[in-house]
Structures are given as C-alpha cells and as structure tokens.
C-alpha cells in the first residue's frame, strides 16, 4: 500500500471512529495516553468491544470537571449491532477513596481511570478504553459534520434557547456567525453550539430524557458520516482534536472505526441505566438515584453481552 493510499485509509478510519463515538475518539497524537494507571487491564468477552464515551461539564480533561455525559458504546460483532448505554450521572455508587457518591463525581476526583474503576466495581462491566471531550471539542466535531438532525419538542424549545445563549459563548470560532435560536418544535439540523445545548437540556423533564437526547445526537452523527466526503474534514482535524483525551492507540482507532462503519446504525440498540431505580434526596449527597443492584446488573450484562431486547 503506497503512502497516499495508506494516509487516505487512515484518515477515513479516524474520521469514522470520531463521529461513531461522538465524543471524540481520534488521532493518537492528541490527548493520547499509553496505558491506564491500573494493575490489570480488564478482559472483555470475545466479539464485544466496550468504549466509555465521556463528556465533561467544562474544559478540564484530566480531572476537575464532572462527567456530564457517560455512554458505553458497545461494538457487538457477534450480533452485528452497536449498543449505546447511557449511565445516569446521579447514580449513587461507591467511589474508591471517597465512599458513596454520585457517579458523575468520579471523573472530577481523578479523571477517567477512577471513573472506569468505579464502573467496573459497581456495575461489573470491564472497560479498558475511553474517549473524553470537553464542550469546545464537542462543538467542533458536530460542526465538522455539518450539524446533526434531531427532533425538538414543544417542551424543549424554551429551555433549549436559554442554553443556546450559553453555549454560543463557548463556541470560540471566528466564523460562527450570529446566534441562531429555535422558533418552534420540529426536526432541525443543529449546529455545534445548538447540539451542545440540546444535549444539556435536563431540568424541564428528567435526566433520562436528557440521556435520550444525547443518544439521538450520537445516532444522527453516525448517519451524517455516511453521507459526507473526507475533504470537508481533513483540513480542520488538528484544531478539532485539541479537546480530546483518549487511550486508544492508532491501530485500535483504525480497526474500531472500520468495524463501526461496517455495522452502521440500522440495528442500533439503546439502554438507559439503571432501569430499576428511585430518585431520593439525601442530606449528605442531595438528589441521587438509588438503584436495585441485582435486577439492574443482570439486565445490563445481558444487554451488553447477550443482546437481549430491552423494552
């Protein structure tokens, strides 16, 4: 394979995985960490590859910001589908060195390593790879795609516009144009700062509803990738990837990007976790999600590893 062809294949694979995981898995030279600081790399089931996708509520990728969005992306070659499992940020779990806390706090304390450890210890899902983006890189990735198509409901419009005003200021691109608000309910192609605002909507309905919106953005991003050519992206990659932190190697990125694009979105499955739960207010922790361990863990493991249908 000559150098030009090799570079083209590399770029295509990298772009594929970037959008597939939506939270920014890409180029090895940007935010790449060779190994996690753990004694043992978790083993995974044959044919199943889990990647933790994290969106932090600020610009700090190492630690200090909470993990506002956490999605386990499962590439299931056994059943030929992609699965997206949203982890509720307020799930009440044990965090090593900190006791019982909201799941979202693990990243703020010690970054992705502690978050992965917390997920394994509490949920029994072994994940060794992750990709984290901050607000700025999320905006840039969506703009690179030319936006994402989502359905905005009547219930979304007012709070979405409030958040658009906030997220517009986060977008530092000189050519971002005038701020665009949403007039009414309907299907829209949201740009980067609009998509970030859409993904952050929470208080007018629920955390579950917000996680559903985040998965809508993921699926739309995958579908957009299929229709776009490479020339749109290549010149902007270095700038876009400045806000990405991942421990995927270049070889893993190429292989996973290829597998993801081969599977596609037609048979995508989604899960909101935990399923069996109750939201309560604790004096020491505020509003948290208390969850039934046995039933939830059985369901989660079956969904990821056995591809059961979840209603």
What string of DSSP letters covers the chain? --HHHHHHHHHHHHHHHHHHHSS----TTTTB-SS-S-SSPPP--TTEEEEEEEEESSS-SSSSS-EEEEEEEEEETTTTEEEEEEEPTTBEEEETTTEEEETTHHHHHH-HHHHHHHHHHHH-----EEEEE-HHHHHHHHHHHT-EEEEEPHHHHHHHHHHHHHHHHH---TT--S-----SSEEEEE-HHHHHHHHH--TTS-HHHHHHHHHHHHHHHHHHHHH--THHHHTTHHHHGGGEEE---HHHHHHHHHHHHHH-STT-EEEEE-SSEEEEEETTTEEEEEE-HHHHHHHHHHHHHH-----
Interval 211-238: pLDDT, tens: 888 888 888 887 776 666 445 444 445 5
Interval 259-302: pLDDT, tens: 777 787 777 888 999 999 999 999 888 999 999 999 999 999 99
User: pTM of the predicted model, to two decimals?
Assistant: 0.76
The domain defined by 3-136+235-306 folds into Nucleotidyltransferase; domain 5 (3.30.420)
What are the domain boundaries of the chain? Answer: 3-136+235-306, 137-222
The domain defined by 137-222 folds into Aminopeptidase (3.40.630)
Interval 5-21: pLDDT, tens: 444 444 444 444 444 44
């Amino acid at each position: 394979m000559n150098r030009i062809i090799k570079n083209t294949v590399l770029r295509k694979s990298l772009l594929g995985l970037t959008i597939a995981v939506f939270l920014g898995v890409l180029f090895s030279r940007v935010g790449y960490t060779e190994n996690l600081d753990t004694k043992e790399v978790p083993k995974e089931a044959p044919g199943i590859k889990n990647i933790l996708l994290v969106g932090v509520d600020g610009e700090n990728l190492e630690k200090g910001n909470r993990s506002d969005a956490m999605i386990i992306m499962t590439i299931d070659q056994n059943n030929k589908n992609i699965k997206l499992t949203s982890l509720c940020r307020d799930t009440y779990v044990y965090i090593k060195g900190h006791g019982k806390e909201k799941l979202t706090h693990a990243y703020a304390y010690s970054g992705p390593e502690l978050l992965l450890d917390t997920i394994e210890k509490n949920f029994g899902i072994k994940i060794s790879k992750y990709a984290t983006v901050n607000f700025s890189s999320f905006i840039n990735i969506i703009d690179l795609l030319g936006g994402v198509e989502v359905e905005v409901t009547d219930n979304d419009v007012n709070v979405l516009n409030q958040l658009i005003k906030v997220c517009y200021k986060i977008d530092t691109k000189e050519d971002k144009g005038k701020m665009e608000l949403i007039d009414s309910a309907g299907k829209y192609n949201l740009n980067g700062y609009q998509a970030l605002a859409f993904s952050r909507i929470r208080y007018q309905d629920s955390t579950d509803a917000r996680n559903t919106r985040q998965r809508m953005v993921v699926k739309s991003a995958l579908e957009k990738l299929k229709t776009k050519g490479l020339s749109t992206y290549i010149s902007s990659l270095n700038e876009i990837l400045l806000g990405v932190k991942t421990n995927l190697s270049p070889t893993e990125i190429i292989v996973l990007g290829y597998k993801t694009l081969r599977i596609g979105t037609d048979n995508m499955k989604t899960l909101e976790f935990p399923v069996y739960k109750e939201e309560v207010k604790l004096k020491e922790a505020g509003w948290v999600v208390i969850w039934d361990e046995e039933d939830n863990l059985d369901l989660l493991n079956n969904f990821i590893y056995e591809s059961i249908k979840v209603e």
